[in-house]
Structure 1
Amino acid sequence: MSLAYNLTSSYALVVELDVRHLRVVCAIADTGSVRKAALQLGMTQPSLTTQLHRIERTIGGALFTREQTGSQPTALGHSVLSRARPILTEMAALVSSARQEAAGGERKRLRIGSVGSRAVPGWLRRVRERCADVDPAIHIDISAIALLRMVADDELDLAFVHESEGFPLRLPPGAEHRVLVAREPRFVALSDRHPAAARPVVHLADLAQDTWMVDPAADHEYAALRRIFREAGLDPRVVQVRDHATAAELVASGEAVRPCQPTSAAAPGTAVRPLHGDPLAVRLLLIWRPGALATGAPDALHADLRAAYIDLARVNPAYLSWLLQHNRSLLHLLGPPLELSAVPTRSGTQRSDERPERNGDRPHSAD
């Protein structure tokens, strides 16, 4: 089985597990229980439980914990799910494309590249729902530079990338782009037992004695982190860890902290918090080659991606609260004011018609 999904650590996952196993893991995560997943998959609960145990033995660790609220993914489970979902998306596209070809139909191929983002599955779903004659294929890479190189080499039609603040990307000659979010803050993931986790906003100084982790494959992440520490007069230890499962375990155990996307879901044993003053940020861009997309397609693709991104903000209280205070130009797209009337803030509950202003705030905008 060959898939257009190039996270190195995913290769072993594909070799050891087949697509049915990945569907089992995703079904349990989506439904929240083995019983409901068994009904969804047309299996008996004992049979699905046995299969889950077999999968966990193959991987070498527990993927779910049983709680009163149902089955919750462990840190390892979150790591496997982040790899399994793109694989299943690509497999669904492959099967759909093959069926269309066998039936004599012709679908337009759309080659999409993206850095890792929880918005991608919702983006692809919207593209398929809007354009039945389009067959999107996703290529995930943590490196924006690598994705832009593929756009320049005509291996991708467009790419969704992050640009670290202070480290501008070099776009391919003649490439066009749209801004999704002009300045997205980086939050921090830390153990839920860390003293700073008890506060809604974390100061860098609170984490000065902690070990920080970055992914060495993430463009400029290490340099950007070092820069903000230097500007703050701090010098914490920074290590580079590529394996996401190991990184998640280190955070949950309290051995390290790491920057993360504000749309990130907190893994078991961890908390996700904004950094005071938002010192670390990225710009989110959609980039494409001239002539690669039909007239009007960039606007439609940008709208689909923005809708998927906003869906994540709806269900993330910490990020929704941050947007309420800092980026109303994106926030107004969430819908009626009633949806924002009970968003928790540092000073309690803030109404949607209040407009806080702080001295020194940087302007935030969305295209």
Structure 2
Amino acid sequence: MLARVELEVRHLRALCAIADTGSVRKAAVQLGMTQPSLTTQLRRIESTVGGLLFTRSQHGSHPTPLGHSVLSRARPIIAEMAALVAAARDAAVGVGGLRLRIGSIGSRAVTGWLRRIHRRLPDTDTTIHIEVSSNTLLQLLATNQLDVAFVHETAGFPLNVPEGVERRVLIAAEPRFVSLSATHAAAARPVIPLADLAGDPWIVDPTADDEATALRRAFMAAGLDPRLLHVRDNTTAAELVACGEAVRPAAPTADPVPGTVIRPLSGDPLTTQLSLASRRGSLPLRELDALYADLTAAYVDVAGASAAYRSWLDRKGSPLLPSAGSR
């Protein structure tokens, strides 16, 4: 019964998102969905209510009279459900209890970040929510489902930051490295030109924000045309790289799986900005400062554990690590 209620509320949120953004495409981005999935969901809802809820044109999607009627009833329901969920979560934590809801992209820094938080706040109920999409994490922040989130933004592709959400930059431009088979002809090179990998299929995660578009743009700037493989499963992607079937972008802090190496790309054609996001006023400034310091220390630890990244930081003269800039 509860699952059915939650499903119906999600449907109502989808209708409100389409009405608020005026576009199925924009609403899908806001909800962390694909446009085809949201379109299918909308058709199911319209089939259930027995009529069109939106008219579609080249200027966007606009509610029909039936749509306005449904939306006028949907918005109070969504607000009541949000209040109910918040009250239930507060009760679950206990009267006077402390809670910290963290969101994050996948990163080796997360483990160390949590360890520091647990050590500093032993009596706080801390939870972690991992997502591939930073846009999804920002939406969870905006709707009070998270307190802070570790997010990344691909250079040239700004995130959809909701009103009231703020970010504090951790790393202004983290380079994206490449993961390739240890037997690859370019694996012995300390830095690899993008052109040397132009003939390889590149694995991208279709759910990751702008990963495929950014990679294609980098190749186009170099006058190259890559072949992209859309693979969502991380285990399968790692196996394809290890056996030499493909290469894929990798964080510089990533730990190479057996049979692979991780190398920088010449000229750093792909970079991302890392930041800590929060809702304005949701946490005391002192606590935000402490969470930022915890995350920074955790990131420095994993950066120092990567020989390839340490070498890159030294070449750039970065002050991130104690040894950086020493040469």
Indicate yes or no: 2:173 matched with 1:183.
yes
**2:326 matched to which residue of 1?**
353
Q: 8 Å contact 1:176–1:287 — kept in the other structure?
A: yes
CA distance in 2, matches of 1:153, 1:327: 40
Structure 1's 262 and 353: CA in aligned 2 closer, same or farther, altered over 3 A? Answer: closer
Matching of residues 158-197 of structure 1 within 5 Å: 158-197=148-187
Alpha-carbon distance, 1:107 to partner = 3.7
Matching of residues 106-185 of structure 1 within 5 Å: 107-185=97-175
Give a deviation string over 1:181-235, Cα, whole Å, max 9, x none. Answer: 0000000000000010011001101101100010011000000001001000001
Larger radius of gyration: 2
Q: 8 Å contact 2:317–2:326 — kept in the other structure?
A: no
Q: Please point out which of 293, 297, 300 is paired with 2:290.
A: 300
Q: Which amino acid letter does the alignment assign opposite residue 158 of structure 1?
A: V
Alpha-carbon distance, 1:330 to partner = 1.8
Give a deviation string over 1:217-271, Cα, whole Å, max 9, x none. Answer: 1000000001001000001211110011110110001000000100011111101
Matching of residues 1-367 of structure 1 within 5 Å: 107-331=97-321, 334=322, 340=323, 353-354=326-327
Alpha-carbon distance, 1:151 to partner = 0.6
Q: Identity over the aligned pairs, expressed in percent?
A: 57
Alpha-carbon distance, 1:131 to partner = 1.7
Q: 8 Å contact 2:141–2:278 — kept in the other structure?
A: yes
**2:34 matched to which residue of 1?**
none
Give a deviation string over 1:63-92, Cα, whole Å, max 9, x none. Answer: xxxxxxxxxxxxxxxxxxxxxxxxxxxxxx
Show structure 1 runs of 4+ deviating over 6 A. Answer: none
CA distance in 1, matches of 2:313, 2:107: 18
Alpha-carbon distance, 1:129 to partner = 0.7
CA distance in 2, matches of 1:200, 1:188: 11
TM-score (norm. length: structure 1):
0.62
Give the SS at the match of 1:178: strand
Contiguous gaps of at least 5 residues in structure 1: 1-99, 335-339, 344-351, 355-367
Q: Which amino acid letter does the alignment assign opposite residue 252 of structure 2?
A: P
**2:31 matched to which residue of 1?**
none
Q: Which amino acid letter does the alignment assign opposite residue 326 of structure 2?
A: D
CA distance in 1, matches of 2:303, 2:97: 32
Q: 8 Å contact 1:106–1:133 — kept in the other structure?
A: no
Give the SS at the match of 2:319: helix
CA distance in 2, matches of 1:269, 1:326: 28
Give the SS at the match of 2:112: helix
CA distance in 2, matches of 1:255, 1:204: 17
Give a deviation string over 1:24-69, Cα, whole Å, max 9, x none. Answer: xxxxxxxxxxxxxxxxxxxxxxxxxxxxxxxxxxxxxxxxxxxxxx
Structure 1's 263 and 321: CA in aligned 2 closer, same or farther, altered over 3 A? Answer: same
Alpha-carbon distance, 1:106 to partner = 5.0
CA distance in 2, matches of 1:179, 1:134: 25
Alpha-carbon distance, 1:325 to partner = 1.7
CA distance in 1, matches of 2:232, 2:317: 32
Structure 1's 270 and 323: CA in aligned 2 closer, same or farther, altered over 3 A? Answer: same
CA distance in 2, matches of 1:105, 1:195: 61
CA distance in 1, matches of 2:180, 2:186: 8
Q: Which amino acid letter does the alignment assign opposite residue 234 of structure 1?
A: L
CA distance in 1, matches of 2:164, 2:283: 14
Alpha-carbon distance, 1:136 to partner = 1.4
Q: Which amino acid letter does the alignment assign opposite residue 282 of structure 2?
A: A
Alpha-carbon distance, 1:326 to partner = 1.5
CA RMSD of aligned residues (A): 1.8
Contiguous gaps of at least 5 residues in structure 2: 1-91
